[in-house]
């Protein structure tokens, strides 16, 4: 039973769903059905794309000397090759989505950002010297890796545990004041169907008529 199960599983992993861009769908390709020469060509073309990632930034402007430009391009390609060997590349189609909800991904991203900040500190880089967008970008990239998948699982566990906790018996939630200004801004954003800019948020006015001065 076990050998048969292993063989069946191996066959499944050799099915690649190739995106057909204009068809807005994917085409399932069984790699076992491809001749060796075609398979080799596929590997070549795929590696050509993967290993050249990042080389677009290696330009004549930055490296005016041809030999230096070529050496840098090879260096970038070698780095990409090492990423391929450790599954740390950016997957664009073949890797399954986590299927996590927005709430889970928000929690996972929070955890990932904390890890990125810890790594920056270890590298002697001040957090205040790094744009928040760069930290978020690094966190998102981490979540796309295999170790990132573990963090997403941890986020799911965190949310599940949080749902079990209720503070309603010790805290009167209704006693927390609601800001009319924030309500107005939220309603304005909802009516426009988009996100308000900081400037627009500050310009939102109350729906009520302005009070008029009373004559004495």
Where are the chain's structural domains?
2-85, 102-163
Place 97 in a pLDDT band, splitting at 50, 70 and 90.
low
Give residue 172's pLDDT band: very low, low, confident or very high (50, 70, 90): confident
Cα separation, 113 vs 107, in Å, equals 10
Is the confidence at residue 187, as pLDDT, over 80? yes
The confidence score (pLDDT) of residue 192 equals 67
How confident is the model over 12-54, as pLDDT tens digits? 347 777 888 888 787 888 888 889 999 999 999 999 999 998 8
Residue 92 has pLDDT above 50, yes or no: yes
pLDDT of residue 169: 80
Q: Average pLDDT in the 148-155 region?
A: 89
Say if CB 83 and CB 135 are below 8 A apart: no
Model pTM? 0.41
Write the CB contacts of 44 (distance below 8 Å, at least 6 apart in sequence): none
């Amino acid at each position: 039973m076990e050998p048969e199960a292993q063989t069946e599983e191996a066959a499944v992993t050799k099915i690649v769903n190739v995106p057909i861009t204009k068809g807005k769908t994917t085409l399932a390709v069984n790699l076992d059905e491809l001749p060796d020469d075609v398979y080799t060509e596929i590997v070549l073309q795929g590696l050509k794309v993967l290993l050249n990632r990042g080389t677009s930034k290696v330009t004549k402007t930055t490296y005016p000397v041809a030999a230096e430009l070529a050496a840098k391009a090879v260096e970038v390609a070698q780095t990409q090759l090492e990423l391929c060997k450790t599954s740390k590349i950016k997957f664009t189609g073949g890797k399954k989505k986590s299927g996590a909800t927005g709430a889970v991904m928000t929690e996972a991203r929070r955890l990932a950002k904390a890890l990125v900040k810890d790594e920056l500190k270890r590298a002697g880089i001040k957090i205040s010297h790094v744009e928040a967008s760069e930290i978020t970008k690094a966190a998102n990239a981490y979540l796309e890796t295999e170790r990132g998948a573990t963090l997403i699982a941890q986020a799911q566990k965190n949310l599940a545990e949080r749902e079990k906790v209720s503070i309603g018996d010790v805290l009167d939630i209704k006693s927390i004041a609601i800001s009319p200004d924030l309500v107005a801004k939220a309603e304005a954003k909802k009516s426009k169907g988009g996100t308000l800019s900081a400037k627009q948020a500050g310009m939102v006015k109350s729906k009520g008529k302005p009070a008029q001065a009373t004559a004495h």
